[in-house]
Chains A and B, each alone.
Chain A
Amino acid sequence: AQSVTQPDIHITVSEGASLELRCNYSYGATPYLFWYVQSPGQGLQLLLKYFSGDTLVQGIKGFEAEFKRSQSSFNLRKPSVHWSDAAEYFCAVGPTGGGNKLTFGTGTQLKVEL
């Protein structure tokens, strides 16, 4: 069965600092991987996704993520955080060949200090 672990429940960074949110997955084959962001009171918005090819994926809002098969990781990064990035971030894994039945991590709450 597929699973996702986001080991950090809360992270606080200063505005302008770099950010890395961790995501580890468990899946028998090459998975489809996603990062979503949820602002307070809002739905989930897709930041980026990895299906195949280049292991460094660029997303919206200046985010990127790197797929590392050897580490079963798909960490999300941003070189310089803005106060508006404060939100909850979810990593998700889906089966190769289709996005049905995504499995979500428990989320990482990001706080940005001004």
Chain B
Amino acid sequence: DAGVIQSPRHEVTEMGQEVTLRCKPISGHNSLFWYRQTMMRGLELLIYFNNNVPIDDSGMPEDRFSAKMPNASFSTLKIQPSEPRDSAVYFCASSRSGSKQETQYFGPGTRLLVL
């Protein structure tokens, strides 16, 4: 079975540019999570969706960040405009919400460098 798919795997962009990260969750999973990992702050939950609806976006750093989930098989995380401090690895994870033993499965991540 295919796991969580993220694209691109690597992104290098210049400050001020728009960046769009993409995620395809595992088929049948109805919860999707976006995380950011940095050396300074570790692994942070940015936002999560349940049945395509954003449930908690309290971890989104600021208005420059936005996330959408137009359908059950696709989500985007957009940064506009990007800044050097946004450089990090961004992970997407998915799970089957509602099961008692809910487990999150992670994608390989997108390594973002903003110059």
Task: Name A residues whose Cβ lies closer than 8 Å to a Cβ of B.
Answer: 32, 34, 36, 41-46, 49, 51, 90, 94, 97-102, 104-107
Contact = CB atoms under 8 A, between A and B. Distances in A.
Contacts, number: 55
Contacts of A102: 45, 104
Contacts of B100: 51, 97-98
Contacts of A45: 106
Interface in B16-33: 31
Nearest to B93: A44
28 contacts: A32-B101, A36-B106, A41-B111, A43-B91, A43-B106, A43-B108, A43-B109, A44-B91, A46-B103, A49-B101, A49-B103, A51-B100, A90-B43, A97-B100, A99-B97, A99-B102, A99-B103, A99-B104, A100-B31, A100-B48, A100-B95, A100-B97, A101-B48, A102-B45, A102-B104, A105-B42, A106-B42, A107-B42
Contacts of B98: 98
A94 B104 CA distance: 10
A102 B91 CA distance: 14
A16 to B, nearest CB: 30
Interface of B: 4, 31, 42-43, 45, 48, 50, 55-56, 91, 93, 95, 97-98, 100-109, 111
Contacts of B104: 46, 99, 102
A5 B100 CA distance: 24
> Which of A49, A98, A104, A105 neighbours the largest number of chain B CB atoms within 10 Å of its CB?
A98
Contacts of B50: 100
A94 B103 CA distance: 9
B48 to A, nearest CB: 6
Instruction: Identify the 5 closest CB pairs spanning chains A and B, nearest first.
Output: A99-B102, A43-B106, A44-B106, A104-B43, A43-B108
Given A44-B91, A90-B43, A100 B102 contact: yes
Nearest to B56: A101
B1 to A, nearest CB: 14
